[in-house]
Chain A
Amino acid sequence: MSPEGINNIKRRNITNTVFHGLLFLSTLIGIMFLIVLIAQILIKGLGWLDWDFITNFPSRFPKKAGIKSALVGTIWVISFTALFSFPLGVGTAIYLEEYSKKSWYNRLLQINISNLAGVPSIVYGMLGLAVFVKLFNFERSILSASLTLTLLILPVIIVASQEALKSVPNSLKEGSYALGMSKWQTITGVVLPFALPGILTGTILALSRAIGEAAPLIMVGAFGYVAFLPKGPMDYFTTLPIQIFNWTSRPQSEFQNIAAAGIIVLLILLLSANAVAIILRNKYQKRI
């Protein structure tokens, strides 16, 4: 090989190494921030995190303050949100992918759903306040909060489910139709089982987004101090992000630490939700 050729190879190798390094660095920056954030929260909050913190109601005395009503409130709100958003979202996705004809009307729906996914969450909070709290008179309740969060994550669930449904090979559907299956039998027998891992993953990720939302719930009227557990969907409520927000805005430094402890609980909840998503996906993928 000519000297220029060898030189060229050297230069290409150097370029390769440089970019390898740059890309690694950009990954590292993101991870470093995450580590610093988590470390800071753990240092501040870990000392405050004990069983009493989980089982106590909030209090104006930092030593007695706990997260019970927020944790239970979050579970109530998210359960109802899941109950509303999963069937609505998956149903819409099935309609759009399997039933509706590809027309201008369908494309319009599609564009609007994608746009809705980009609307800031506070706007959904205002909508929830106007429609559920005032118009429907559901008041500042778990129901209003769940319905608002449902609207917020519905576009995400629809789009994720549509992608999952699109990934079902056409040959499988045809195979089912060729056996004399109706459309609905094909959807329940072949299409949904194949798409389920994708649908579940999308739904759980959307729900974990809803768990972390504070802004729309402030609009709908979550309370910063709730010293009882909700008994039904029409009760007052608070949630973890609201409680954390409430604590961080207090002047006493102890409450900052309590907020950090609250964040740890919220993180554990989110990570377990993601873990469930991964386990479900692996479980159903193994069958295939």
Chain B
Amino acid sequence: MQKNVKNKIIAKNLNLFYGQVQALKNINFNINEKEITALIGPSGCGKSTFLRTLNRMNDLIQDAKVKGMVLIDGSNIYDSSVDVVALRKRIGMVFQSPNPFSMSIYDNIAYGPRIHGIKDKRKLDEIVEKSLKQAVLWDEVKDNLNKSALSISGGQQQRLCIARVLAVEPEVLLMDEPTSALDPISTLRLEELVQELKKHYTIVIVTHNMQQAARVSDVTAFFLNGELIEYDVTENMFTKPKDQRTEDYITGRFG
């Protein structure tokens, strides 16, 4: 990279197996702080699996095994001394389709902070307002905070899910195809939001949509069959890719 930025996440010789199947093959990848990194590639290429290694979400899958290292701020998150629950508080995640809990909008946001020990009502109010403002949802829901989170639109729900993650004050935001279930206008709003969030968070976003990667990201990485083929500044990736396979994919020859 030409810019002088800090590496927030470093994957070193990272391999992942689902039983006998190797889903990630020797990934070496540096992700910069306060930048947006987009992961692209055809279905089943390992981009989502890689994203899930970064907050150890793959631990939930019974026969997933990880070899290698993921360093966040220099320390290996796969070290046996690491507390997974504390790790996931630092590395927030937004999923493919909105998954608000079946409670009020307010309680969805306050859920995380409450369990992490904040009981004071005024403090919680503050966090809810701040998170919803950060997720650009406040003006739309401020009069209906006690309404069920399932009563708002899909686009609003997805922003609610982002606000819910922001409420526990993570350092990194992982987004797994966050706009795949949204209409074009909601998608646009979410992309604007992601640009805004970049000021404070390191963001890694998986996307099926190459235009989206080109629009929002600073760095793009191309995955294929479990391998990280190449990654570079987004502009370079889309204008002069080094690998033939990358070029084939971004010019639409497969995938």
Instruction: Report which A residues bind B (CB closer than 8 A).
Output: 101-102, 169, 171-182, 185, 189-190, 193-194, 287-288
Contacts and interface: CB of A to CB of B under 8 A. Distances in A.
B182 interface: no
Interface stretch (B33-41, B108-116, B213-221, B233-241): B108-116
Interface of B: 55, 57, 60, 62, 85-90, 92-93, 95, 97, 99-103, 111-112, 115-116, 148, 150, 161, 164-165, 168
A190 B107 CA distance: 12
Contacts of B161: 175
Nearest 6 A/B pairs, CB to CB: A180-B89, A178-B93, A288-B102, A171-B99, A179-B112, A175-B99
B101 A177 contact: no
Contacts of B60: 173-174, 177
A190 B101 CA distance: 7
6 contacts: A174-B95, A180-B116, A180-B168, A181-B112, A193-B103, A287-B102
Contacts of A169: 99
B102 to A, nearest CB: 4
Contacts of A182: 85
A193 B89 contact: no
Contact of A180 (B88, B99, B150): B88
B95 A171 contact: yes
Contacts of B115: 179, 181, 185, 189
Contacts of A180: 85-90, 112, 116, 168
A189 B57 contact: no
What secondary structure prevails in chain A residues at the interface with B? helix
Given A101-B62, A174-B57, A181 B101 contact: no
Given A102-B62, A171-B95, A171-B97, A179 B102 contact: no
Contacts of A181: 85, 88, 112, 115
Given A175-B164, A178-B92, A287-B103, 13 more contacts: A101-B62, A102-B62, A172-B102, A173-B60, A174-B99, A175-B99, A175-B101, A176-B101, A177-B88, A178-B55, A179-B111, A180-B85, A287-B148
Contacts of A101: 62
A145 B165 CA distance: 50
A170 B39 CA distance: 23
A182 B112 CA distance: 11
Which interface residue of B60, B97, B99, B112 has the most chain A CB atoms within 10 A?
B99
Contacts of A287: 102-103, 148
A189 B115 CA distance: 9
Contacts of B55: 178
Contacts of B102: 172, 193-194, 287-288
A91 to B, nearest CB: 22
A178 B101 contact: no
A268 to B, nearest CB: 34
Contacts of B150: 288
A101 B60 CA distance: 11
A179 B95 CA distance: 12
Contacts of A172: 99, 101-102
B193 to A, nearest CB: 18
B168 A179 contact: yes
Which interface residue of B90, B102, B150, B164 has the most chain A CB atoms within 10 A?
B102
Which interface residue of A173, A179, A194 has the most chain B CB atoms within 10 A?
A179
Nearest to B90: A180
B108 to A, nearest CB: 9
Nearest to B113: A179
Contacts of B57: 174, 177-178
Given A101-B62, A287-B148, A179 B99 contact: no
B88 A175 contact: no
Contacts of B148: 287-288
A179 B62 contact: no
Nearest to B93: A178
Nearest to A175: B99
A199 to B, nearest CB: 15
B86 A179 contact: no
B89 A179 contact: yes
Contacts of A185: 115
